Structure 1
Amino acid sequence: MVTLYRPGDSPWHRLRPGPKMALLLLIVLGVCLLPVTWWAAGVMTGVCLVCYAVPDVGMRELGRQLFTARWILGVTLAGQLIFLGPESAAANTVRVAVACALAALLALTTPATELLETIERAMAPLAWLRIDPRRAALTLSVTLSTLPVLATLARDVREAQRARGGGRSLRHFAMPFLVMALKHADELGDALAARGVR
């Protein structure tokens, strides 16, 4: 499985996966409960900056994660501006940005195998509802890795276009990107099937 994990010695790296996941989830829930105001947008931004301002993570990584999510944030901002106005649009877009950044922080500081095992243990009670915790955990882990994988594929296509002297044509970008994305999805499906996931 493609992973965002970057080895390091930050407080986030040293924190065990279970408590780290619970803490980040609490932070995201706290951010979601804040009102849609300018000051709340400032508080949310501050919380995100503090979470990333540690060794082996840093502001450059935060910028990279937000750049990866730029299309999601752009669509969120545009839709909110049309229907709710500037203050609500800013607060809600910052809320989405912080949630994406903190989800990425979890993946950046936790090896994929540990993350998968922790999610599987957390979902163990779902067995009472006849839901396979292993499959649910794997689905969630794959979902967490989807955005960075697609961003990497998009970057590779752009670099290949530049190497061939191509322009920034959307038409020439879309087809190879779609082919690579479908190829990745097919390979991921084969890998899951080989591990008995149907």
Structure 2
Amino acid sequence: MLNAIIMNMEENMEIYRKPVFTKQWLCVRVLFVTGLSLFMTIVACGFDALALGRKEEFLLKKEVYILLTDSIDFCFALIFVTMMTLIVMEIAYRRCLNYLQYGLTACALCIFYLLLLAMAEKMPFWLAYATVVTMTVTLITWYCKCITGNRGFSGLVSVVLALEYGLVLTLVYIGSLALLIGSLSIFVLLSLSMFLSLRLKVENNELLFKKL
């Protein structure tokens, strides 16, 4: 009898549960991550100025400085895409991240450039880049795993980050082909966004991903 009452209460709670992943929630999240990405990009520009000072003091080689500043040019895109990925995965996996957790993740993505500057003074740029990417991806993957308790969530985050950093390194090194590769990457990203938007449905005022 008691078990039946408890089950009935749980069913009623599920019915009257306040929707979390609503359209309003999505709008607020997108506005927040856009502002956060812009702020972190401004901070990263400060690292660019720091790198210039280190170059003028002959602590940083000119060619390394150019590679570093070129990588900072992609800061906003990298942070914004990562933040949007987290939003999509929140909906897909029904796991909530709070604003502090978004902020700390963005800080890790921003501090990447400071670490890259520090290590690029002491070792080849590609080695410094690989080292800092490994550190950053490992940290954020571990953090997402601790927050959500879901290996699929954290695993996809690590894959997205690895692809992003790999693409940035490619764009930095290929020079004249950067515009072509960058444009194609944007097209692929737009195509993926359009596909995901087709799967995004609203049921009972709740955003859900459904099969096409």
TM-score category by the smaller chain?
0.3 to 0.5
TM-score by length of 2: 0.31
